[in-house]
Structure 1
């Protein structure tokens, strides 16, 4: 029996999101179950659907929360005032993925149904991370090339992601690459240098 009157809607949303995030970290996207989240918090699956609208929206919210935590971890490292801020971006990407593999992979494993859009709130949460990358790229580019920062940020995140994914899955080991993070950083530096940074 659900505890339907125990929490307000906002409290329910926070409770479901926290437990959903814990479960995703434990089992990963392929084994994630909204029904298991409901069981863990003592509510019915209907409550989760009433609060989030669908399984997809719940996963989206969990992934957006992961983006927020990831951005906070990266911001903390940048706020320490490192001399090589670009290296911090790459290292932060690799370390977050290595420390939170299920949460990290869930971001890329989840696909929205055709025609469904990411809600604006989720889009804003996710933009925090790429916004930081873009800001750091602007810092190293000449002022007249700052307009290229957004496109460069997307490409460089994709480059680092590819290296990181190959590292975590063991593909780089099979290819004989002994320093995937160093290789990713080298590609980033080369791209920024070519862009005038």
Structure 2
């Protein structure tokens, strides 16, 4: 790699890191390219020599967030027997804990909207879809007789239920729930859903 390319890659890495810090501190609405350019020491227009547009910059930050979330969920999943229902409980609580510890970066994953004429790049779609294995694989262990499509729908439904509780529970408004209580409620929800699936199968 030439020195010029090395400098460009380093500046691009610095830009993404600076954007990550800015979102973590200010939220997605606080991301300003002019402030980023000043922080990394380049002209405002030069930002767009490093990324195609603000969409790509936000998605690159989101990719880093998803990779860290993936690590947290992997640790929770591997902490016990993957064939037992408690694997899904641990994973759900790990998701809640990650969201609470990385609130603005986590929110940015869901707040960002692509322009109508833009589509998500394949690498970003793949980063998101990869996370569903943390739900799909334990479900497949618990319900080996179920088909891939049915398990996929169940995995998405379980995620939606947990995500909804986390999103509402961590709202800094009247609906906010103290984290210990939220973790307990999420565990109860996941256990109830699994018990319901077992009963329905029986």
TM category (shorter chain) comes to 0.7 to 0.9
Q: Which residue of 2 aligns with 1:29?
A: 28
Q: Map 1:48-197 to 2 at 5 A.
A: 48-81=47-80, 84-169=86-171, 170-171=174-175, 173=177, 179-190=184-195, 192-193=197-198, 196=201
Q: Which residue of 1 aligns with 2:7?
A: 8
Higher mean C-alpha deviation, range 55-64 or range 136-145:
136-145
Change over 3 Å in CA distance of 1:68–1:87 after alignment to 2: same
1:38 is aligned to 2:37: yes
Q: Does the CA contact (< 8 Å) of 1:164 and 1:180 recur in 2?
A: no
- Using the alignment, how far apart are the partners of 2:5 and 2:147 within structure 1? 55
State the Cα distance separating 1:66 from its structure 2 match: 0.8
TM-score by length of 2: 0.82
State the Cα distance separating 1:128 from its structure 2 match: 2.0
TM-score by length of 1: 0.84
Change over 3 Å in CA distance of 1:46–1:165 after alignment to 2: same
- Using the alignment, how far apart are the partners of 2:80 and 2:187 within structure 1? 21
Q: Which ranges in structure 1 are unaligned for 5 or more consecutive residues?
A: none
Residues 24-57 of structure 1, C-alpha deviation per residue, up to 9 Å, x if partnerless?
1111112122222222111223222122111111
How many residues end up aligned between the 2 structures? 191
